[in-house]
Copies of this chain bind each other. A is one copy, B any other.
C-alpha cells in the first residue's frame, strides 16, 4: 500500500520542553523521551511488574505522596534527592518489593516533560530500550505524532535527540508519515550519524559526562542498549501504566537499515 502526501501523518521532533508550545498544535500522540534515565526507568519499571507510576513535577509533591505512605523516588541533577530511597536508576525498579506497587516519581527533566504533554490525547513513553516495539505501535496508529525530548534544563541533549531521530526515521521510512520541520530532519541525520557507534558517539554527550562523574556507568550502559524492553508506558488520567499491546508479525522496516 502506498500513501499520497495528503494521507500521511505528521511526525515531528521537539528538542526541549521549552519549545513544546511552538509544536503542540495538531498532534494526537506525544512520545516523551528522557533516555538518561527517566523514561528508560519508567519503561523498565512497568515491564518488571510495577503496577503504575505517578509522575510529579516537584520534589514537594513527591514528598507529600511519600508522607501518605506511597513508594516515592526523586532525582535532581542526576542524584537521588535526600530523604528518598531511589531516583531514576532503572535497576531500582527491578527490585522484588516494587512488584505490583504504585510508585511516585519526580526527575529533573523527564517528569516535567510528561506533565507538560498531558494536555494531549495520548501520551506514551519512549526510550532506546523500547525503540522498535514503540515504533511498531506508532506506525499501526498512524496518527500525527510529536516526539518530545526532555533535554537538559531546556537545552538540547544528544541522547534524547538520537532516540527521537531514530523513531522519526523509522516512521518516515514507512512513507506513511511526513515531516514539515527542520528539527525532525536534523534529528534524523544526527541519529544516522550516531547509529553505527552509539556508545562512542555518546561519549561526547554532556549528560553522559555528568553521569560518569556520578559513577553510574552501569545505568548509562543499560539505557543506551536498544530493544531490551517490550513495553510501552501510556499516561491514563495522570498515571503511567503498561499498555496492553501485541505487535503484528510484519517487518518493522522495509529497507535494509537495521538498528544496531
Contact = CB atoms under 8 A, between A and B. Distances in A.
A182 B152 contact: yes
Chain A interface main SS type: helix
Contacts of A15: 15, 156
A205 interface: yes
Copies of this chain, count = 2
A189 interface: yes
Nearest to A157: B182
- Contact residue range for chain A? 20 to 34
A218 interface: no
Interface in A99-118: none
A122 to B, nearest CB: 23
A190 B181 contact: no
Given A19-B18, A19-B154, A155-B22, A206 B182 contact: yes
Interface of A: 15-16, 18-19, 22-23, 152-158, 161, 180-183, 185-186, 189-190, 192-194, 204-207
